Amino acid sequence: MDEQQTGTEPETPSISNTGEGKATPASSGPPATDDRAAWRLWWRSQRQNWRIEPEVSPERQALLAERRAMAPDGRTSEDPCAGMSLTRADVERLLATHENGRGPVPWDDPS
């Protein structure tokens, strides 16, 4: 039976940081440090190869989700993130959670 028929996704390995600057396979979640090499491996294991930055803090995630939920003001053309300084990690988070987790929009998608 294939993945589509069972409704499950194949397991992907997770990684952890050994504290020696090396990322190694592990059974737990994402790296506990800001080691970019470990995070790159983590994102790769999560099939998000385009991500390279450590995950943003839960507080920042909440703020980004709040801003993303705001409708743009058509009269002033103001973006919900106007006035915010966004880091690459912020943009990665916004793209990864776009459309309830569907991820970034393919550049060649006509819709």
Question: On the CB side of 95, how many CA atoms lie within 13 Å of its CA?
Answer: 18
- Averaging pLDDT over each range in 13-22, 76-85, 95-104, which range is the top one? 76-85
12-24 pLDDT per residue, tens: 333 334 444 444 4
Percent of residues, the chain, with pLDDT higher than 70: 70
What's the average model confidence in pLDDT over 32-53? 92
Give the pair of three-digit tokens for residue 61. 């995630």
Alpha carbon 19 to its chain centroid, in Å, reads: 23
64 versus 80: which is more confidently predicted?
A: 64
Residue whose entry in the numeric block shows the structure tokens 């983590």: 42
The reported pTM is 0.64
Is the Cβ–Cβ distance between 61 and 47 less than 8 Å? no
